[in-house]
Structure 1
Amino acid sequence: MSTKSRNYFLDNYKAFLILLVVIGHFIEPCYTNTLFLTVLKWFIFSFHMPAFIFISGYFSKKDMGLEKLIQKLVIPYFVFELLYYFLYVFVIHKETGLYFNRPKFSLWYLMALFFWRIATPYVKKIPGNLFIAITGGLLIGFTQLGNFFSIPRTLFFYPFFLAGYYFQESWFESIRRHWKAFTVGLASLAGLLGGWVLITGQELTPFIFYGRYSYEDMGLTNGWGLLIRLVCYGISFLAIFALCAFIPRKQHFYSILGVRTMPIYLFHGLVYSILKDSRILEKVDFPVETGLLLGFCVLLTFALATELPYKFTTWISSFPVRLPKSFSRSKKTAV
């Protein structure tokens, strides 16, 4: 792939992932109602955020200063925290507080991305940093930090960001040529996890891929929780690479979704919160209802990629930020 032209492969990959983000959230209240939705939930959460974060890391090689990071990530975070607060309190009457250290809904990603971009220039200087990042993601499962500053998710998903940061464009071609090996490895690990469930009778949910919950929260001992999380890392990485063979490389009508992931990501949660409060989503059961829900998710994804949501998110992430010299960094951070 030429670096002189737009990489439509990654646009298409991001388009696929952002659609899965929307679907994954909207089937949350009803995924246990049918086998199809249960399998779909497992499929989506086994790799969609790891892949999304991997690609974010890949696009984070360009230098960006602290002021620009605040402009692009921190300001949108505060704006949408306020929007969620007003929606919860005045529209759906959900009890909540106006706090900024516990991200609402999917806003944890903005907070985590800010921390990843700040930390990576320093982390990359440490020998064996990817191994250390994976170790941190495993060990955080021992704690009960909850959603505080999204620390558990930030540490759990950081290996995917760091791997994407190191990844080179030419490697995608090599991965495509060996997609069968990645698929076999993926099937083997998934079979290993499924076999463990059958043998032990241990109940597992897609929460094992969320990164938010401790091993205790998921009903696992620390030892088993650590091993299962390690298997989850393997499944997610293998799925990211195996899917490379199936993502189109040319521009298509849906490629725009991969260019405008931010408004889709930020706005879909507001719609979801309203529908969830109405309890209509948890009633989805029959095939026709499932089809209508999935069709709605597709239409919503395209609707949120239109000009108005895109211009709004562009506008709030374009406010000029000027830090006092005492707070300015002498070097730019690599993002």
Structure 2
Amino acid sequence: MAILSGYEPSSLGSVPTNAHVADVEGAAQLFLEAAIQFDIIDSSHGSFENYAALVLPDGMSVNEDLRAKLESYMSAGGKLILYGTAALDKETGEFGLGGVPVAYEGEAPTVPCYLRLDEVLAAETELATDYDYVFYDRAHLVRPLEGATAHGELRRALFDRTWEHFTSHAQAPVGESLESPLVVRGEGVLYFAAPLFGAYRDHDYWVYREIAKNAIRELLPRPLLKFSGPGWVEATLHDQPAGDDYPERRILHLVSYHPRRTMQPVQHVDQSWPTSGLVVDVLTDGRTVGRAYLAPAGEPLDFDVVDGYARIALPPVGAHAVVVLE
């Protein structure tokens, strides 16, 4: 998967800045915690064909050149994930890409609003389908187009918390349904009406991560890697072609530094402790796995092939472990 980014001039002169910092950083944080393999690229990237899906940040505009590249990519089977006003033409109020499964109808009337989930978005998590989860940023109202599949819904707050209407220490309670979906899936396109990635970066609310993971699983049901373990363990998968003295192999790097509370704005990564109970499922892509082991020591690992995945229950992992499948 790739997160599409964009750059704009900055006060530093020749040094450009990321035009979608919160969304890109939020998506990266979420994908790292979910073991979703990704790159961060910009529209000048030569080709998108090596990626199973592209993520377009909230507010990203699409010019003619990028539109042509994206539509060519989608026609070849590539998937698209977008949210909020990504690819929206502000003058016409319409999305500037074919295949987007919704019509835009405007902003949600209150900030925050609330998210009511269905069984798909709450699957295999502690999330509930009879509870309203607050979304702290601006969400958007859309109408699913014919043939699209909608999941969940948006609900308004009773009112915006202002000097005219004050309640509690944060937001007003949930109000009525806005009759607008939270997630809509079309043919190869996934749309989020609530910009979850930027909100995850800014508010670190675990609910947004779990909703996004379940929605993406619907779009991409067979990821390169499935990981069972805590979010502080980061997993990165590499393919290595065969060499003179070794066969083709997949190499999984696991990095496990434990979080600790700090008063500093920049997190310090300086402590680790063995983490046990980790299980990884690595997609084989139809190739036969002859052996699995820990590098560089070569300690063999037991594995089972289940539904096209090599499943490995790992021994305790310290700061760094390298798992090799040949």
Answer whether TM exceeds 0.5 for this pair: no
Please give the TM-score of this superposition, normalised by the length of structure 1: 0.27
Structure with bigger RCO (C-alpha 8 Å, 6+ apart):
1
Q: Which is strand-richer, 1 or 2?
A: 2
Larger Rg: 2
